[in-house]
Amino acid sequence: MAKSKPGKKELASFTMHRTNTVLKPGDCVLMRPCDAGNPPYVAKVEKIESDYRNIVKVLVRWYYRPEESVGGRGVFHGSKELFLSDHYDVQRVETIEGKCYVHTFKNYAKIPTVGRDDYFCRFEYNVATGRFTPDRVAVYCKCEMPVNPDDFMVRCEGCNDWFHPSCVDLTIEEVKKLDHFLCSDCIPEDDDGRLSDSFPV
């Protein structure tokens, strides 16, 4: 009778030999793309396993870039924006190029200097249906668009809404010289609050 092969062993961590980087479940990683000319794939490590041959593989949950989703990239999508998908996959650990950081939208906005390996995520994406969670987000400015963290915006001290300088007939340089800013609705009298609008993703 042939002996059965030992099962897989789940690992709490794994040290990538090329970079000496310690990998753990929950880490976000950059993975080698099929085409060398494309940017690396981004994934979240869910599980690390070693088989009977000591081959280490990772169960990952893929992040999608806006252009890879139904509807494509919108004007409000940041250049470092990703969607956490429901697409899982198993990959050999050798395909990992290194670790990266996928921040919440709120934390990403607080980073003084965004690094090469910094990304952010504010939506989950269902690959089969093309739907997002949440499916609506707050909008700002006269253009009524969601915030793109790559765009410079100024906050009105009256209604606390945020505005693109170009939407209020100002340049970025002019806004930076202002000590205070009031939008056109707040100049004659204080507004009692911004309408709670939303934008369909």
User: For residues 77-95, b (16+ Cβ closer than 10 Å) or e, as one string?
Assistant: bbebbbbbbeeeeebebeb
Residue after which a domain boundary falls, among 133, 150, 182:
133
Judge if 57 and 39 occupy the same domain: yes
Q: In terms of domains, do 151 and 59 share one?
A: no
3-state secondary structure of 138: strand
Residue 5: pLDDT band with limits 50, 70, 90: low
Whether the Cβ atoms of residue 175 and residue 181 lie closer than 8 Å to each other? yes
- Which residue's entry shows tokens 């369909």? 200
Report residue 200 CA to chain centroid gap.
18
Q: Is residue 120 domain-shared with residue 152, that is, in the same domain? A: no
Q: What is the pLDDT of residue 19?
A: 82
The per-residue pLDDT for range 36-78, each reduced to its tens digit, is 888 999 999 999 999 988 899 999 999 999 999 998 999 999 9
Same domain, 122 and 144: no
Q: In whole angstroms, how far apart are CA 13 and each of 25, 97, 152?
A: 7, 16, 40
Close Cβ partners of 95 (under 8 Å, ≥ 6 residues apart): 31, 32
Domain count along the chain: 2
Based on the domain organization, do 30 and 49 belong to the same domain? yes
The per-residue pLDDT of the chain, averaged, comes to: 89
| Residue 181 within a domain | yes
Pair 50, 77: CB distance under 8 Å: no
| Other CB atoms within 10 Å distance of the CB of residue 99 | 17
Question: pTM here?
Answer: 0.83
Task: Based on the fold, state whether residues 188 and 120 are members of the same structural domain.
Answer: no
Task: Give the Cβ contact number of residue 183 at 10 Å.
Answer: 21
* Domain CATH number, residue 50: 2.30.30.490
pLDDT band at 91 (very low <50, low <70, confident <90, very high): very high
CATH number of the domain within which 142 lies: 3.30.40.10
Q: What is the pLDDT of residues 144-162, one digit of tens each?
A: 999 999 999 999 999 999 9
pLDDT tens digits along 104-124: 999 998 999 999 999 999 999
Residue 2 resides in a domain: no
* Domain region containing 100: 9-133
Based on the domain organization, do 50 and 70 belong to the same domain?
yes
Looking at the fold, whether 27 and 98 belong to one and the same domain comes out as yes
Looking at the structure, tell me whether residues 128 and 141 fall in a common domain: no
What is the rounded CA–CA span in Å between residue 181 and residue 166?
14
User: Is 3 a domain residue?
Assistant: no
- Judge if 25 and 124 occupy the same domain: yes
Same domain for 119 and 164, yes or no, is: no
63 in any annotated domain: yes
For the chain, the distance separating the N- and C-terminal CA atoms, rounded to the nearest angstrom, is: 59
Claim to verify: residue 80 and residue 175 sit in the same structural domain: no
Element (H, E) at 82: strand 81-92
